[in-house]
Amino acid sequence: MCSIKQELSKNISLDTNPNEINLVNSQSLKSSEKISKVPYKTIKLEGIKIISKQSTKKANHYRVNYRDKCQNSGFFFMDSYFRDKKEVIQPNLVGDFLLLKGYKYQFFSKFV
């Protein structure tokens, strides 16, 4: 039994050099820092008209559909953080909005 362990330990050489481990850890931190430093793009929508507001599957989350001056339609999401503003944003409201453009969708930021 001991001879098998000795043979296996001879055949398997584990190089656990601490410098290499630290190098890998520092590289992974750098990549995560790059992701967190990417700012959201802000979009200013002027003179848009809210067409409808629909609740989503998530609690206190809304999808707000709008149409701009050129009759282009779009939507943005409003999450539970802005629950005090959800009563203000109603259909037929015309105003200027600031949105945050994420990876896939746009989110409400504030009134301008």
Decide if 27 contacts 33 (C-beta within 8 A).
no
Range of the domain at 56: 41-111
Is this model's pTM higher than 0.85 or not? no
Give the number of domains in the chain.
1
Burial class (CB in 10 A: 0-12, 13-18, 19+), 75: middle
pLDDT tens string 43-64: 898 999 999 999 888 887 889 9
Whether residue 68 lies inside any domain: the answer is yes
- Residue 48's CATH number: 2.40.50
Nearest to 107 by CA among 89, 87, 82: 82
Whether residue 83 lies inside any domain: the answer is yes
Helices (H), the chain: 2-11, 18-37
pLDDT tens string 70-83: 889 999 998 877 76
